[in-house]
Structure 1
Amino acid sequence: MTAMAPAPTTPDLSFLLDHTSHVLRTRMAAALSEIGLTARMHCVLVHAIEEERTQAELAEIGDMDKTTMVVTVDALEKAGLAERRPSSKDRRARIIAVTEEGAKVAALSQRIVDRVHQTALAGLSKDERELFLRVMNRLVTDELATPADNPQPVRRARQRAS
């Protein structure tokens, strides 16, 4: 005798969020690769431009571990888009400063990111987009703002290798 799988009583929210997030990340990666950037590089550039920030601060904003952050900043430096400099606020700290060329690339990459987001929402009416974004913002600032403490950490979904 084969056991019957339990029938879900609500839509599979995990699948819906994971799938849309994965597809959006792949589209973003493809779009940014056209100008030689990764999503992480874009994130570092646009947040380093906003104000003087250390590598650790930028890593926290971009949800990157220390090693990933170092590799990302190394790539930005190699491309001439950013550089590590002493902080003007704390001489012991080093910040990530965006170069003039990096500022141009950050502006272009932001337009690309905006376009990918607009395309993702294009199938919704204006009212549906506004409602969707309002509800998602409420979820990420309320019910889904903080991960649960878990003795077995949950890994984030990985993108498939190209």
Structure 2
Amino acid sequence: MEITKTSFQFLFANTIRALFKQSAKEFDNQDIKITPEQNYLLRILTSQEESIQSDLAEIMQKDKSAIMRHIDQLEKMAYVVRVNDAIDRRKKHIVITELGAEILKKCEQIISNLSEKNMETISDDEMETFKKVLIKLKENAER
């Protein structure tokens, strides 16, 4: 199958890139020094009691070294800390700090505002249909 500028794969990939670029630009405009991926990583950390690097890599579908680089950067900014496991000292849990939770809250507000702006011309019915199609695509891809 040939990929053209109107093919699903091209449009979907370009849309994701455009949304990430838009949020990165807005983070920068608001002097927030994290990337959209780091924002996603922080969001994951708030939704799980315990997170280790390999779990985060699996959730984000990235290799462990890429996740480690993100964690290192977030740790330098004091948004996360590594905590030794009580049983296995080789294992380190990644925990979001209070400062990390504050920056995440700011990022979520920015993303919410951008989403609202981007959805202005999309009806509720169109969005529901789009979500259903995405769910089916994901289910089909995981078979």
> Can you list the C-alpha shifts for 1:53-82, whole angstroms capped at 9, x where unaligned?
101111221222222111111111111110
SS in 2 for 1:96: strand
Give the superposition deviation at 1:105. 1.1
Report whether the alignment pairs 1:31 with 2:26: yes
- Flag the structure with higher helix content: 2
Unaligned runs of 5+ in 2: none
Kept in 2, the 8 Å contact 1:41–1:76? The answer is: yes
Unaligned runs of 5+ in 1: 1-5, 147-162
SS in 2 for 1:64: coil
> Can you list the C-alpha shifts for 1:95-132, whole angstroms capped at 9, x where unaligned?
11111111111122122223333333221112111221
The structure whose RCO (Cα within 8 Å, separation 6+) is larger is 1
Tell me which residue corresponds to 1:121.
119
Q: Which has the larger radius of gyration?
A: 1
- Which residue of 25, 42, 45 corresponds with 1:45? 42
Provide the C-alpha distance between the structure 2 equivalents of 1:95 and 1:63, rounded to a whole number of angstroms.
18
> Can you list the C-alpha shifts for 1:8-38, whole angstroms capped at 9, x where unaligned?
9xx6212221221221121122123331110
Provide the C-alpha distance between the structure 2 equivalents of 1:112 and 1:87, rounded to a whole number of angstroms.
34
- Aligned Cα root-mean-square deviation (Å): 2.3
% same residue: 28
TM norm structure 1? 0.73
1:88–1:23 Cα change, 3 Å: same
Tell me which residue corresponds to 1:65.
63
Tell me which residue corresponds to 1:151.
none
